[in-house]
Structure 1
Amino acid sequence: MAFLSANSPLDVLKHLLLIVTVGALLVLGFFYVYLPMSTHHGETITVPKVTGMNLADLEDYLKQRNLAYFVDDSSYSPSIRPFTVLVQDPAPGEKVKEGRKIYLQVSMKNPPVIKMPNLTGGSSKNAMLILKSYDLVVGQIQLVPDMAAGSVLKQLVGGKEIAPGAPIAKGTRVDLVVADGQGNQTFAVPNLVNMPEDEAITLLVGQGLQKGEVFELPAEDGQTAGTVVRQRPVAGPDATIRMGQLVDIWVAK
């Protein structure tokens, strides 16, 4: 092979140029021909929407599209069918390579168990906010006679008291026993007629009653201005009232 013989410096230079050229072609072919063919360089897949689908249907659906999935989070909602896809990442419509994993958040079959919060002693309004924040359901509100108006006296599940810290599943219905602010003690209606207005109000407060509306009437013959001339409810031998109730009075001008 006369071409490969090195009889002169020019022949050596030719050989070196040939070696460099072949090496360059091999490098370029590896990066621009072999790698793109073996890795599908530049080929992408549009991520489909899988939210709302069930995991049982998802594996074949994504496998047909050369994609995979991984469940990395879960949450519970009683209104959503178990194992339903709630959130996906990447989002639908994004471009990804073949074989890319789609990370999912799915709904749980069973609700998680948490510790029952302490609602007793606080207001019923605050108790409802706490129940909502714990993903518990506000059940029946039962009013009972007690002077601590609006205060939660008991917390019940299934008709039985549940202690703070006891295990309870999210979504459980919790009933509340709440004070009505009136108490259960009944006694005779006090007679306020002919009493000065300030003394009548002091008497009401002292007996655990509340002042209602105060009306004014022109003083008639024999009536002293500033005294009570009428009341509701009216006092009498059989008239009773419960602690915390309102009493309206009419005062002479």
Structure 2
Amino acid sequence: MQALFYFLISKQLWKNLLIMILVSVFLVIAVNQTLKIYTRHGQKIPLPDYEGESITSASEDAERRTFEIIIADSVYMVGRRGGIILDQIPEAGQLVKEDRKIYVTTTKFKPDMIRLEDLPPFYGRNYERTARVLDMAHSIRSSITERTFDPGPEGHIMGVLFEGDTIIYRDRIKEGVQIPIGGSLGFIVSQQRGGTVEVPNLVCRTYDEAEFIIASYKLRVGTTRMQGEVSSLDRAFVVGQDPEFTSDARIEMGSTINLILSEQKPQDCDSLEE
């Protein structure tokens, strides 16, 4: 027991213990510093600026720096190629740790499509106002491709064309049409002078009615030929006209329409009126 006591208080024991403690502390500090040097553990790195770069090159650079780029959103921009980074979170220059995720917004390669029925109404609306709305809301460009007579106010939309195809004419709308953001539309716009007008359907009308309709279309009554005996124009009905009416027939404004009149109303007038 006495030998153990002398051993515990011996200088050699405490000397060895002190050496062991110092070595252990040194090893811990050395290992920690080595890890910091080789892995930069605990350090923060300034984040590069990826805005304006392509997503491909930015992702490759981020991977070399142990970052990960994630596309959070994408938008179509007219005139800009797809896959370009518009903004990033965190912002460039911020100090971040390794393995940090960077969320970016990029440009789309293809434009979004808008259904024709989801666009604002066209027929009868003011062209200038409609063109501004389309440009501001959907970046859709507008142009006037044709002007046509209409007795209503000038500058109103009578028809719409897309890629050379008439998709709206008066109250007729083509179904299943989709317009790309950044696309173009052509418009047929009303005017009260010049141009062409539709050929009105005058058959079955009285002469007075036909004369009024012809004048409202900015046309003139041409020759009148009687079929049978007509005692008075007030009692005459239109039984024929030249040019004839069809759904797509048009005539220059100021032109004449020749009429064939009869005191007998055509037999199929009632069915036409229905």
TM interval, short-chain normalised: 0.5 to 0.7
Quick one: structure 1 residues 2 and 131, their matched pair in 2 at CA, closer, same or farther if it must change by over 3 Å?
farther
Measured in 2, the distance between the counterparts of 1:143 and 1:185 equals 8
Q: What RMSD over aligned residues (CA atoms) do the two structures have, in Å?
A: 3.5
Measured in 2, the distance between the counterparts of 1:139 and 1:185 equals 19
Contact 1:154 1:177 in 2 (8 A): yes
1:98 matched to which residue of 2? 98
2:182 matched to which residue of 1? 171
Q: CA offset at residue 184 of structure 1?
A: 5.9
Measured in 2, the distance between the counterparts of 1:2 and 1:123 equals 110
Q: CA offset at residue 151 of structure 1?
A: 0.6
Structure 2: gaps (5+ residues):
6-20, 168-172, 198-214, 217-252, 255-274
Q: Percent identity?
A: 22
1:161 matched to which residue of 2? 166
* 1:150 aligns with one of 155, 171, 187: 155
2:41 matched to which residue of 1? 40
* 2:125 aligns with one of 122, 125, 146: 122
Which residue type is aligned with residue 134 of structure 1? H
Q: CA offset at residue 170 of structure 1?
A: 1.3
Matches within 5 A, 1:90-239: 90-116=90-116, 117=119, 118-132=121-135, 133-147=137-151, 148-162=153-167, 163=173, 166-182=177-193
| Moved >4 Å (runs of 4+) | 36-39, 183-186
Please give the per-residue CA displacement for 1:156-209, whole angstroms capped at 9, x wherever unaligned. Answer: 1022122477322212110111112337699xxxxxxxxxxxxxxxxxxxx88x
Measured in 2, the distance between the counterparts of 1:168 and 1:185 equals 29
Contact 1:155 1:174 in 2 (8 A): yes
Which residue type is aligned with residue 114 of structure 1? I
Measured in 2, the distance between the counterparts of 1:89 and 1:120 equals 45
Q: CA offset at residue 154 of structure 1?
A: 0.7
Quick one: structure 1 residues 140 and 87, their matched pair in 2 at CA, closer, same or farther if it must change by over 3 Å?
farther
Measured in 1, the distance between the counterparts of 2:190 and 2:144 equals 14
Which residue type is aligned with residue 134 of structure 2? L
Contact 2:134 2:141 in 1 (8 A): yes
Higher helix share: 2
Alignment partner of 2:72: what SS? strand
Structure 1: gaps (5+ residues):
4-21, 187-206, 209-240, 243-253
Alignment partner of 2:71: what SS? strand
